[in-house]
């Protein structure tokens, strides 16, 4: 048992008052005159004994009455936790979960409204002069300081449900950081306790923090939402048949049929599809339509689902009819074949040819793809420049000449761990294997049959791929030697064509393989901008932007209305990575500006982390607390009608002053009874 006001025990000296009164009354004598006292001798002895007993009982009752009153005013209570410091909390830290899942209905109304009401009860049950710290998912700057009662109440009224999810680790880390080290605190965690909120807690509260979990039950346990989307082809052209795949999740125990799924492009309904989805299943819905224009497109997919609505829309954007910039670096032997592939289609390609040795590395960033045509050797300087170009998102195609310097080309390939040329040549070999699933061969062959009769090649350099290499063969010959290999390196790609593109392989160059393959190599070399970003800490999108950026340039995101936020960015080669600022709170399609010049659309969506409505029940929450936390943790049931009393007991302990006051009253009654009935 502890006391709120132990200094009040000085009042215990008041018990001396009835003792002094008793002693004075004990020494007072009263003379009675009788003619003969012999008859009163026995009566005198009996009366004297009763009087002494009566006075002692009254004295004890008075002493206990005063003692009980003193103890009651000292504020006795039993602590509700086993805090090592045995000190009452000096600061109350209140975390209010304001994620989208808190919009659900609970037993007492909207869960978020309950959370704010509980927070206010904590405030009103605390001492008037107590300090507070407020934590929300937004981690706002104004919540980084200790607040008074009135200011905290104002801030709680300002809190709104938002798009920023948080985890228990984030909350505990924030509490540990904000609490002064010389203070003790109680941390109140008010949340619906989704499993995504408590994935695996590995950050513990400081020893001077006592923690109380206040889970609020929701009545919504089902949700259907759009998880993500992607295109079957990363390249878009006017008049092209598009296939958009949308992944939709049904997190409920109910089957749904004929759910309408709408695709809007530039705010116009472009396609309408329907979906049948079983309970607790995920479906990938294919939406097909035709691109009828060029340029940038703002798009969104919509479904209808209630009551959780924030994840019913997915925003994205893309660009159509962007020309591919091709740099063709020829050796001394200048062949016409590659030139004819790209110069014949100026609507898709912008071709520039130069001789090997005349290239300018500073200009590489202006191109999407660089083809090294019939190369004998590569200088170390050019090799390093090409590696940097690929790292920044570009694509390089290496085509060897009939005669090559193996050491030079293999040194270049070693930069990418792409394998090596062996000192041998193959003749008369035909194509046996083509990876038809690769985008390079999309729409190239009407029939993906292994029985297709391909012409034999006049000369192929034997090539060995390493087991540890990330590169793979896209076309192989009948002896399994690769004809075309590809692999990713950082943000870009490297392709190696092991046969010279010259008259020695004239039959192959006339086949239906050559032109479409090199056409698609260039088309798919464009850096594809991200379809969308997810709102949250560190979120970013990648954008194709080959232009030079000065250190003083400022990029911003705008929606033409109320939002205009400066963004941070990283530029590497043709890739511009834009970080979504925390000022962006609403999902939608925005514009990226450089100064006042439009660069690209930017689409942002709410995090789907909380779309799976899985919650910790009391048993699982108690298990986590037992396994991960110490004894300074308590769970309070928010559904109880006397939650205010439980909050008060956690803050101040279980008060006992009422019992001591009742004992004082009892001893007063005892004193009256002793005085009246003991003669």
Interval 255-302: pLDDT, tens: 999 999 999 999 999 999 999 999 999 999 999 999 888 899 999 999
Confidence tier at 347 by pLDDT (50, 70, 90): confident
Q: What is the pLDDT of residue 82?
A: 43
The CATH code that applies to domain 533-605 is 2.60.40
11: Cα separation from own chain's centroid: 58
Q: Which two tokens stand for residue 130?
A: 């107590």
Q: What pLDDT is stored for residue 41 in this prediction?
A: 59
Contact status, residue 444 vs residue 412, Cβ threshold 8 Å: no
Mean pLDDT of 552-568: 85
Q: Residue 677 — pLDDT band, cuts 50, 70, 90? A: confident
Query: 525 with 493: CB under 8 angstroms?
Result: yes
Confidence band, pLDDT 50/70/90 cuts, at residue 182: confident
Domain 324-523, CATH among 1.20.58.220, 3.40.50.720, 3.90.1200.10, 3.40.50.880: 3.40.50.880
- Secondary structure of 660-672 in HEC code, one letter for each residue: HHHHHHHHHHHHH
Listed by start position, the domains of the chain span 2-79+659-677, 91-219+613-652, 223-320, 324-523, 533-605
| pLDDT classification of 523: cutoffs 50, 70, 90 | confident
What percentage of residues in the chain have a pLDDT greater than 90? 39
CATH code for the structural domain at 223-320? 2.60.40.10
The confidence score (pLDDT) of residue 651 equals 61
CA distance 515 to 413: 25
Strands (E) in 345-407, as ranges, are: 349-355, 369-375, 395-400
On whether the CB atoms of residues 400 and 426 are closer than 8 A, the answer is no
| pLDDT: which is higher, 475 or 677 | 475
Report the chain's C-alpha Rg in angstroms.
41
On the 0-12 / 13-18 / 19+ scale of CB atoms within 10 A, 121 is middle
Contact 126, 94 (CB under 8 A): no
Q: Please name the residues in contact with 58: beta carbons below 8 A apart, sequence gap of 6 or more.
A: 22, 671, 674, 675
So what's the pLDDT on residue 297?
95
Q: For residues 249 and 282, is the Cβ–Cβ distance under 8 A?
A: yes
91-219+613-652 CATH pick, 3.30.530.20, 3.40.50.410, 3.40.50.20, 1.20.1090.10: 3.40.50.410
SS (H, E, C) 635-658: ECCCCCCCHHHHHHHHHHCEECHH
- Count of CB atoms situated within 10 Å of the CB of 407: 12
Q: Quote the pLDDT of residue 47.
A: 62
Cα gap 152→92, rounded to integer Å: 11
User: Would you place residue 83 in the very low, low, confident or very high pLDDT band (cuts 50, 70, 90)?
Assistant: very low
Q: How far apart are CA 482 and CA 477, in angstroms?
A: 6
pLDDT at 473 over 90: yes
CA–CA separation, 480 vs 489, rounded Å? Answer: 24
What is the reported pLDDT for 39?
56
User: 511-517: which pairs have CB atoms within 8 A and are 24 or more residues apart?
Assistant: 511/454, 511/455, 512/444, 512/445, 513/431, 513/434, 513/444, 513/454, 513/475, 514/337, 515/341, 516/441, 516/444, 517/440, 517/441, 517/444, 517/475, 517/484
pLDDT 10s digits, 108-132 = 888 999 999 999 988 888 877 789 9
pLDDT for residue 172 is more than 50: yes
pLDDT tens string 591-616: 999 988 999 999 999 999 888 888 88
pLDDT per residue over 368-411, tens digit each?
Answer: 899 999 999 999 999 999 999 998 888 999 999 999 999 999 99
**Residue 466 near residue 417 (C-beta atoms within 8 A):** yes
With contact defined as beta carbons under 8 Å apart, do 287 and 502 qualify? no
Nearest in space to 99 (alpha carbons), one of 75, 118, 115, 88: 115
Q: How far is CA 122 from the centre of its chain?
A: 28
Distance CA 218, CA 120 (A): 20
Cα 405 to Cα 487: distance, rounded to the nearest angstrom: 23
Cα(519)–Cα(277) distance, rounded to whole angstroms?
39
Q: What is the DSSP string of 121-142?
A: HHHHTS-TT-EEEEEETT--GG
Least confident of 47-56, 159-168, 386-395, 508-517: 47-56
How far apart CA 384 and CA 361 sit, in angstroms, is: 10
Distance from C-alpha of 327 to C-alpha of 359, rounded to nearest angstrom: 9
Cβ–Cβ under 8 Å, residues 422 and 462:
yes
Residue 493 phi/psi, 5-degree rounding, is: -135, 150
**Which helix (H) or strand (E) segment is 202 a member of?**
none
In percent, how much of the chain has pLDDT > 70?
89
Asked if 91-219+613-652 and 324-523 have one fold, the answer is yes
- Alpha-carbon distance of 112 to 638, in angstroms, equals 12
pLDDT tens digits, 29-75:
556 565 655 655 555 555 667 777 777 888 888 888 888 888 888 87
pLDDT digits (tens, 9 = 90+) for 417-458: 999 999 999 998 999 889 888 878 876 666 665 556 788 899
Instruction: Using the predicted structure, report yes or no on whether residue 26 has a pLDDT greater than 60.
Output: no
Find out whether 215 and 635 touch, Cβ atoms under 8 Å.
yes
The answer to whether the peptide bond before residue 307 is cis (omega within 30 degrees of 0) is yes
**Contacts for 9-15 with beta carbons within 8 Å, 24 or more apart?**
9/70, 9/74, 11/70, 11/73, 12/66, 12/67, 12/70, 14/66, 14/70, 15/62, 15/63, 15/66, 15/67
Distance in angstroms (rounded) separating the CA atoms of residues 58 and 63: 9
Task: Indicate if the pLDDT at residue 656 is higher than 80.
Answer: no
CB-based burial of residue 5 (10 Å sphere; 0-12 exposed, 13-18 middle, 19+ buried)? Answer: exposed
Q: What is the pTM of this model?
A: 0.74
Q: Please, which pLDDT band fits residue 650 given cuts at 50, 70 and 90?
A: low
Q: What is the pLDDT of residue 113?
A: 92
**Mean pLDDT over each residue of the chain, to the nearest integer:** 85
Write the pLDDT tens digit of every residue in 210-246: 889 999 988 877 899 999 999 988 788 888 899 999 9
% helix, strand, coil for the chain, step of 5:
30, 30, 40
Say how far apart CA 106 and CA 613 lie, in whole Å: 13
pLDDT at 17: 79
Interval 565-572 mean pLDDT: 87
What pLDDT, in 10s, does the model give residues 527-557?
778 899 998 878 899 888 878 888 888 999 9
Q: Are 590 and 533 in contact (CB under 8 A)?
A: no
10 Å Cβ neighbour count for 405? 15
Q: Which residues contact 50 (CB under 8 A, 6 or more apart)?
A: 678, 679
C-beta of residue 196 within 8 angstroms of C-beta of residue 584: no
């Amino acid at each position: 048992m502890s006391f709120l006001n132990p200094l009040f025990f000085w009042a215990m000296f008041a018990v001396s008052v009835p003792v002094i009164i008793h002693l004075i009354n004990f020494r007072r004598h009263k003379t009675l005159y009788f003619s003969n006292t012999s008859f009163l001798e026995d009566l005198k002895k009996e009366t004297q004994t009763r009087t002494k007993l009566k006075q002692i009982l009254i004295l004890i009752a008075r002493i206990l009455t005063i003692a009980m009153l003193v103890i009651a005013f000292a504020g006795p209570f039993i602590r509700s936790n086993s805090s090592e410091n045995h000190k009452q909390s000096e600061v109350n830290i209140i975390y209010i979960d304001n994620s989208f899942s808190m919009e659900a209905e609970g037993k007492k109304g909207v869960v978020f409204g309950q959370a704010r009401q509980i927070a206010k009860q904590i405030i009103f049950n605390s001492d008037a002069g107590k300090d507070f710290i407020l934590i929300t998912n937004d981690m706002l700057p104004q919540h980084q300081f200790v607040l008074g009662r009135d200011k905290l109440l104002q801030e709680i009224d300002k809190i709104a449900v938002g798009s920023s999810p948080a985890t228990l680790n984030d909350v505990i880390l924030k509490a540990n950081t904000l609490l002064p080290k010389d203070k003790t605190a109680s941390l109140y965690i008010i949340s619906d306790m989704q499993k995504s909120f408590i994935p695996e807690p590995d950050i513990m509260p400081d020893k001077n923090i006592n923690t109380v979990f206040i889970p609020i039950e929701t009545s919504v346990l089902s949700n259907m939402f759009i998880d993500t989307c992607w295109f079957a082809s990363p390249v878009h052209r006017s008049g092209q048949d598009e296939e958009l795949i949308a992944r939709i999740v049904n997190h409920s125990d109910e089957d749904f049929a004929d759910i309408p799924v709408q695709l809007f492009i530039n705010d116009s309904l472009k396609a309408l599809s329907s979906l049948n989805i079983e309970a607790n299943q995920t479906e990938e819905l294919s939406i097909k339509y035709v691109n009828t224009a060029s340029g940038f497109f703002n798009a969104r997919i919509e479904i209808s689902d209630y009551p959780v609505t924030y994840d019913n829309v997915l925003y994205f954007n893309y660009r159509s009819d962007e020309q591919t910039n091709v740099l063709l670096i020829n050796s001394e032997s200048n062949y016409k074949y590659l030139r004819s592939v790209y110069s014949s289609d100026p609507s898709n390609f912008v071709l520039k040819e130069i001789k090997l040795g005349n290239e300018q590395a500073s200009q590489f960033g202006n191109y999407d793809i660089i083809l090294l045509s019939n190369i004998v050797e590569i200088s170390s300087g050019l090799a390093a420049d090409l590696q940097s170009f690929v790292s920044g998102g570009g694509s390089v195609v290496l085509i060897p000449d009939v005669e090559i310097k193996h050491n030079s080309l293999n040194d270049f390939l070693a930069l990418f761990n792409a394998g090596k040329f062996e000192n041998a040549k193959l003749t008369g070999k035909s194509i046996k294997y083509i990876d038809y699933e690769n985008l390079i061969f999309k729409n190239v062959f009407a029939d993906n049959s292994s029985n297709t009769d391909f012409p034999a090649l006049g000369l192929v350099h034997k090539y060995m791929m390493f087991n540890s290499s990330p590169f793979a063969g896209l076309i192989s010959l009948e002896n399994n030697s690769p004809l075309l290999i590809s692999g990713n390196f950082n943000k870009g790609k490297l392709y190696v064509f092991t046969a010279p593109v010259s008259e020695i392989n004239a039959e192959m160059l006339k086949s239906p393989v050559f032109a479409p393959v090199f056409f698609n190599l260039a088309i798919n070399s464009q850096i594809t901008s991200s379809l969308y970003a997810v709102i949250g800490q560190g979120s970013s999108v990648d954008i194709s932007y080959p232009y030079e950026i000065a250190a003083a340039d400022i990029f911003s995101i705008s929606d033409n209305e109320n939002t205009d936020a400066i963004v941070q960015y990283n530029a590497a080669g043709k890739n511009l990575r834009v970080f979504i600022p925390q000022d962006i709170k609403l999902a939608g399609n925005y514009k990226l500006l450089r100064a006042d010049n439009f660069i690209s659309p930017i689409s942002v969506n709410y995090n789907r982390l909380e779309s799976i409505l899985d919650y910790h029940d009391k048993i699982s929450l108690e298990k986590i607390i037992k396994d991960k936390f110490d004894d300074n943790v308590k769970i309070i049931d928010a559904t109880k009608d006397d939650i205010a009393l439980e909050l008060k007991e956690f803050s101040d302990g279980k008060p006992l002053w009422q019992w001591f006051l009742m004992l004082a009253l009892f001893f007063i009654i005892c004193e009256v009874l002793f005085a009246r009935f003991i003669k």
